[in-house]
Amino acid sequence: MYGAGDVRVEEVPDPQIVEPTDAVVRVTLACVCGSDLHPYRSTPASATGTPMGHEFLGVVEQVGSAVTNLKPGDFVVSPFAVSDNTCPFCREGFHTSCQHGGWYGAGGIGGAQAEKVRVPQADGTLVALPGDVDEALLPSLLTLSDVYLTGYHAAHMGRVEPGKTVTVIGDGAVGLSAVLASKQLGAEQIILMGRHTDRTDLGVTFGATHVVPECGEAGVAKVLELTGGEGSHVVLEAVGHMPAYEQAFRVVRPGGVISRVGVPQYEDAPVGFGSLFGKNATLNGGPAPVRAYIEDAIPQVLSGQIAPGRVFDAEVTLDDIAEAYRLMDSRRALKVLVRP
């Protein structure tokens, strides 16, 4: 990406093993993330550009001398963040804070919207998949890189469980994933706040029991009405803008949890007596440590228990990736597969 709206496909040298803990992976399926749209809309023009993409399935081509869990030919899924899976923070389940972690497209690591990518900390980062997976399941496996497990992280941090009422704010691919994860975790009532009917329809398929298209005061009133005036035990905020946060603390129940996975486009926000403190509301969430959840999710996808890949509604080849950005930026597509 060379600047806002300026996505180019270029020939670059193949990635090589740099550290003995690296692997080089041939990408077989990638996609564009909602978070890729932030730089697509706002990056200043640059002469050097930034490699893009952080979600992929692929086949290991080469491994460094210190890699022991993987071998060339292994079919793998990668979390969107690199982690060693052994540091204290990884052991506590917060791989996105790994002491030896990193991010695709930054710090000398390439992007995954590419034919090949170098994966640092390969033993910790990559998770092997069965080699003979049904082609139809690949999009769902790809969602374990980020989008489904980001929704799952929201629900996990929100402590969704049977008997709980969950309100999901945002009908993007992460919000819909949060609906599906909440359903998996046994939520009784799942209220989806969103106003794009094609998306909220998929949300209903994923398990939403109610859709609230209203925003602002009207939306808050509707959620309170649906919860007997008491508010929602859990609010999963999958937008990241201040109005969504304000909606969240207005609909959360006393003692409830607001779990955020929409990257906040603000730093300061209300947290005092009138918003969170007075009703003992909990605020949490952050960049999803999807590595912590991948191994449990793989059999759920393989068995057909969940089909999170339904968030993909378009596909392009790598050469046409600029079109994928345009489709998502204009909301003509929810999430776009990229096939190198």
Binding site for its own copies (CB under 8 A): 88-89, 92-94, 96-97, 157, 230, 253-255, 260, 263-264, 266-287, 289
Shortest Cβ 282–its own copies spacing (Å): 4
Residue with Cβ nearer its own copies (42 or 65): 42
Structure tokens at 264: 């906040």
Structure tokens at 54: 């952080």
Residue with Cβ nearer its own copies (27 or 261): 261
Shortest Cβ 97–its own copies spacing (Å): 3
CA dihedral 46, 50, 52, 54 (to 10 degrees): -140
Residue with Cβ nearer its own copies (72 or 278): 278
Length of the chain equals 340
Residue with Cβ nearer its own copies (67 or 276): 276
CB 331 within 8 A of CB 314: no
Shortest Cβ 328–its own copies spacing (Å): 22
State how far the Cα of 294 lies from the Cα of 143, in Å rounded to an integer.
10
Residue with Cβ nearer its own copies (123 or 237): 237
State how far the Cα of 111 lies from the Cα of 33, in Å rounded to an integer.
12
State how far the Cα of 279 lies from the Cα of 259, in Å rounded to an integer.
16
Shortest Cβ 135–its own copies spacing (Å): 35
Nearest-5° angle of CA 252, CA 234, CA 96?
120
Rounded alpha-carbon distances, angstroms, from residue 164 to 42, 126, 200, 222: 38, 34, 20, 18
Q: Is 3 left (phi over 0), alpha (psi -120 to 50) or beta?
A: left
Nearest-5° angle of CA 8, CA 12, CA 18?
130
Shortest Cβ 280–its own copies spacing (Å): 3
Residue with Cβ nearer its own copies (23 or 292): 292
Q: Report strand pairing: 252-260 vs 127-129.
A: unpaired
Structure tokens at 210: 């109610």
Residue with Cβ nearer its own copies (135 or 273): 273
Shortest Cβ 278–its own copies spacing (Å): 6
Please list the residues that pair with 76 across neighbouring strands: 58, 128
Shortest Cβ 284–its own copies spacing (Å): 4
Residue with Cβ nearer its own copies (5 or 286): 286
Shortest Cβ 31–its own copies spacing (Å): 23
Q: Is 49 left (phi over 0), alpha (psi -120 to 50) or beta?
A: left
Rounded alpha-carbon distances, angstroms, from residue 308 to 104, 141, 146, 174: 23, 8, 11, 10
Shortest Cβ 246–its own copies spacing (Å): 12
Residue with Cβ nearer its own copies (76 or 154): 154
